[in-house]
Amino acid sequence: MDRTIEMLKLAILAEQDGYHHYLTASAITTDKKAQEVFKALAQDEELHRKTLLDGIASYGRDKKWNLAAIDGKSKVSAAGPSPIFSADFVKRIKDKHYEMSALSIGILLEQNSIDFYSKMKSKAKNAKLKTLLSVLVAWEKKHLEALVKQQKLFMSAYWEEARFQPF
């Protein structure tokens, strides 16, 4: 069980990294819609972190996984043609290098979390812990889906505006 605790501590640090990344992205971007979505992503990451911290604390106290139920409903959705940025912002993407980087870093963070939680789930023996890890994987997948969809839209618009698209 000590190995599980150590793995969850790493997960907490990763959630903290995600929180700070999205909070910084919300502060830097000039797009109002993106500010709101990045803040929502940060809030989701903070909820994940707190849930994991509470789980470790309950295990330390009672030697049981008394994990708080989280609903797994992300505040972020991949619905719509541009899930993170406004359509007007996408039209002016050519000089928005920070936003492109913020999406790329977010994609890496979310994919790493999915891989990490999936691996932990495959090794977990406790049913409550497995359930929590399943919820976290599903939640991170929703984040990843929105980020990837937005990145693809940006790439298409970026290439078109820069006239890199010969087709």
Of 119, 94, 98, 111, nearest to 147 (Cα)? 111
What torsion, rounded to 10 degrees, do the Cα atoms 98, 101, 102, 108 define?
A: -170
Tell me the C-alpha distance between 31 and 85, whole Å.
7
Please report whether residue 23 resides in a domain: yes
67-82 pLDDT tens trace: 666 666 677 777 777 7
Is 14 domain-assigned? yes
Residues with Cβ within 8 Å of residue 25, at least 6 apart in sequence: 34, 38, 99, 102, 106
Residue 167 lies in a domain: no
**Stated pTM of the model:** 0.83
Position 55 scores a pLDDT of: 84
Distance CA 159, CA 93 (A): 10
pLDDT confidence of residue 68 = 65
Residue 157 within a domain: yes
pLDDT at residue 12, as a whole number: 96
The pLDDT tens digits of the residues spanning 86-144 come to 878 777 766 677 888 899 999 999 999 999 999 999 998 888 889 889 989 999 999 99
Q: Are 160 and 151 in contact (CB under 8 A)?
A: no
Residue 48: domain span? 2-161
Specify the pLDDT at position 165: 59
Instruction: Sort 110 into a burial class: Cβ within 10 Å, 0-12 / 13-18 / 19+.
Output: buried
The mean pLDDT of 22-33, rounded to a whole number, is 94
Of the candidates 115, 131, 16, the one whose C-alpha atom is nearest the C-alpha of residue 68 is: 131
Least confident of 28-37, 50-59, 111-120: 50-59
Confidence (pLDDT) at 132 = 87
CATH number at 25 reads 1.20.1260.10
**Has residue 54 been placed in a domain?**
yes
Q: 163 pLDDT exceeds 70? A: no
Q: Per the structure, how many domains does the chain have?
A: 1
Place of tokens 């994609």: 107
Q: What is the pLDDT of residue 97?
A: 77
Residue 24 forms part of a structural domain: yes
What kind and span of H or E run contains 102? helix 97-123
166 found inside a domain: no
